[in-house]
């Protein structure tokens, strides 16, 4: 599944509700999901952490959609050619 | 680009450094990126927000890799068949 396909999938499920909520409220929900992810990684099961990773990605996609951002395009633009700072893969910053 | 390809790309650039840092420190860095994303969405340019979206996704991928989680697999498992709670797309929860 491409990043774009996942973003489109999330738009299909949630965009109407997420648009009504607006970006600041969706950022709050993303923070809640990141908190749940941190808790699952600290003391939860692998299955719980897996679900929280999925949720965090879903909320990141939603906020990108509300901001008019193609998450796949910006991710590939910044990282497809190695570290954005040193241009190497593996990163050679401070090496 | 698939979610898995992006996760693998980030592993190639950063995994050695990120493994040395460990999950808690990488969670702190993810939080920092989410904060930068929130700031860019509130008062930055679109280009700044695009870069922060890419960074947030990169850190989420890194933490997934450290936790042994395939982000594409868990995202598709949870969301490819509609809302995980009501099973519909668009979501019909509380409708």
The pTM assigned to this predicted structure is 0.96
Q: Which residues of B touch A74 (CB under 8 A)?
A: 50-51, 53-54
Q: Which residues of B touch A37 (CB under 8 A)?
A: 27, 63
Average pLDDT score, chain A = 96
Do B13 and A90 contact (CB within 8 A), yes or no? yes
Question: pLDDT tens across A7-53, in order?
Answer: 999 999 999 999 999 999 999 999 999 999 999 999 999 999 999 99
Beta carbons of B71 and A53 less than 8 Å apart: yes
Do A62 and A17 contact (CB within 8 A), yes or no? no
Mean pLDDT of B41-66: 98
For A58, name the nearest residue in chain B, comparing CA atoms only. B75
Do B14 and A94 contact (CB within 8 A), yes or no? no
Question: pLDDT tens across B16-51, in order?
Answer: 999 999 999 999 999 999 999 999 999 999 999 999
| Other CB atoms within 10 Å distance of the CB of residue A68 | 9
**Closest CB from B12, B46, B79 relative to A90:** B12
Strand partners, B40: none
pLDDT for A94: 82
Do B82 and A14 contact (CB within 8 A), yes or no? no
Do B75 and A4 contact (CB within 8 A), yes or no? no
Q: What are phi and psi of B68, to 5 degrees?
A: 75, 30
Residue A95 has pLDDT above 70, yes or no: no
B10/chain A closest Cα distance in angstroms:
7
pLDDT confidence tier of residue B82, bands split at 50, 70 and 90: very high
B33/chain A closest Cα distance in angstroms:
11
Q: A20-46 as b/e, with b when 16 or more CB fall inside 10 Å?
A: eeebeebbebbbebbebbbebbeebee
A24/chain B closest Cα distance in angstroms:
8
- Residues A27 and A46: their CA atoms lie apart, in Å, by 25
CA distance to A56, A61, B6, per residue, from A77 (Å): 21, 17, 11
- Best probe of the B interface among A4, A5, A6, by most B CBs < 10 A, is A6
Q: Which residues of B touch A57 (CB under 8 A)?
A: 3, 57, 60, 71, 75
Q: Half-sphere exposure of B88 toward its Cβ, with a 13 Å CA cutoff? A: 7
ipTM value, please give it: 0.96
Do A55 and B75 contact (CB within 8 A), yes or no? no
């Amino acid at each position: 599944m491409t990043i774009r396909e996942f973003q489109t999938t999330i738009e299909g499920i949630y965009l109407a509700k997420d648009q009504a909520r607006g970006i600041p409220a969706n950022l709050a929900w993303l923070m809640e999901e990141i908190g749940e992810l941190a808790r699952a990684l600290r003391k939860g099961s692998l299955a719980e952490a897996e679900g929280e990773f999925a949720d965090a990605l879903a909320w990141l996609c939603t906020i990108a959609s509300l901001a008019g951002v193609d998450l796949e395009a910006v991710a590939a633009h910044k990282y497809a050619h190695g570290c954005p700072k040193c241009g190497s893969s593996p990163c050679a910053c401070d090496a």
